[in-house]
Structure 1
Amino acid sequence: MPSDPAPPHPRPSRTANAKGQAFKQERALRTRRLLLDAAAQAFADKGFPGVTILDIAELADMTKGAVYFHFANKEALALALADEFYERLDDLIDTARRTTNTPLDTVRTILTRTATAFRDDTTIQAGARLQVERTYINAALPTPYTAFTTTLTDLLTQAHTTGQLRPDCNPQALAHTLTSAFFGAQHISWILHNRTDLPQRTHDILNTTLNPNQP
């Protein structure tokens, strides 16, 4: 007498599949974050030309294969970090706009918080160094400084319109001056003091350029 056929294997439920897929995506995102953090540290410390994929893999405690699974090459890591650098600057600007009362206060807050980020945030430090070393990177990084200058110009124009700046002040020229002074100060502070004094340098710039009591 033939034996009863074996029961069919139960099909995994859609819920189980969704949970498994979500877990894989979450794990992939965590791995990608670890690799970006490791690359940021490496680029900030050694610069793009001095860093290898192996350096990044070892900092992340992973294999080179894991790096290449997520990023095609070193340039792809640099591009991802450059994008994140500008996203973080945009977040700082948006927060300053929401939490200040006047355009001039917003300008001061943007520059002081950006100075703190340059001092403390490794991704910001890596992004800044990648921009300086852009000629060594075979990829199209965003153009530096222009968006930052445009933001300051818009805010200073509003400040001028509302009487926060002297009538003879040129908001566009002042925005260019502030951008040059700030990014020049961050570079000097980086070389001389590892950016520890950048908030104070920024405070001095703001007091010198935006002092309403000056003739």
Structure 2
Amino acid sequence: MHATNSTPGTGQAVTSRPKQERARRTKAQILNAAAEVFAEQGYPTVTLQDVADRVGMTKGAVYFHYANKHVLAIAVVEEHYERWPELVERVRATKDNPLDTLLAVLDSTAEAFRSDTMVRAGARLQIERSLIGTNLPKPYEWWREMLAALIAEARDAGQLVPDTDPEALARVVVSAFFGVQHISDVLTERADMMERYLEMRDAVFKGFIAG
């Protein structure tokens, strides 16, 4: 008989890790495929079969991970919102001052709305939230709070004029930004997103940047 040094239960744990990783990758593949079809077609017409066809799986395989279209839509919206804190932290790590950080956050967000399918899908599903019939994350509030904090930092650093009201400017920026991305989507499927965004950014901040 050969002696073993294994700890009871260790073999099962080691075996389960690859299975868990495969399941994680499969869920991610399904979620990305769902984002594509939601972004293209919208919530009402998409079916689990559409998602299965896009990802190259059976409907049963999709159903195993996501019980229905409703659950899948919620997961896409939640993933959409998870992108933003990570984006802000990445930008903060590369910029030396508050104003550069503020503008780079907006620039990167505009680019995400132009090219990131998960972001585009989440934005469309938020517009269609009444059709989904659940309590999705409330839109815009996180953006207002985050931008107000960045604007206050830039004002206090002397980069914006002293009488800048961070809360008011944040509300204007959020309203203008999301209006621009929506109009760009409707008119050009966001092909002109960056051009229209830069027009908005320069117009809004023109009177606030300290000379």
Q: 1:36 aligns with which of 28, 31, 37?
A: 31
Pairing 1:171–2:180 present: no
Instruction: Report if aligned partners of 2:160, 2:210 keep a CA contact under 8 Å in 1.
Output: no
Q: Is 1:111 aligned with 2:106?
A: yes
Match of 2:143 in 1: 148
- d(CA) in 2 for partners of 1:153 and 1:214? 17
Shift of 1:155: 1.0
1:189 corresponds to which of 173, 176, 184: 184
Larger Rg: 1
Q: Secondary structure at the match of 2:162?
A: coil
Equivalent position amino acid for 1:60 in 2? V
1:159 aligns with 2:154: yes
Partner residue of 2:200? 205
Unaligned runs of 5+ in 1: 1-6
Identity of counterpart residues, as a percentage?
A: 45
Show the counterpart of 2:121: 126
Q: Which residue of 2 aligns with 1:101?
A: 96
Note if contact 2:158-2:210 (Cα within 8 Å) is conserved in structure 1: no
The one-letter amino acid of 2:90's match is T
Question: Out of 65, 70, 76, which is 2:71 matched to?
Answer: 76
Please list every run of 5 or more consecutive structure 2 residues that lacks an aligned counterpart in the other structure: none
Deviation digits for residues 12-57 of structure 1 (CA, Å, limit 9, x no counterpart): 9855433321121111111111110110001000001110111111
Q: Does 1:58 align with 2:49?
A: no
Contact 2:159 2:210 in 1 (8 A): no
| Partner secondary structure for residue 49 of structure 1 | coil
How far 1:153 sits from its partner (Å)? 0.6
Number of the residue aligned with 1:4: none
CA 1:191/1:32 → structure 2, altered by over 3 Å: closer, same or farther? same
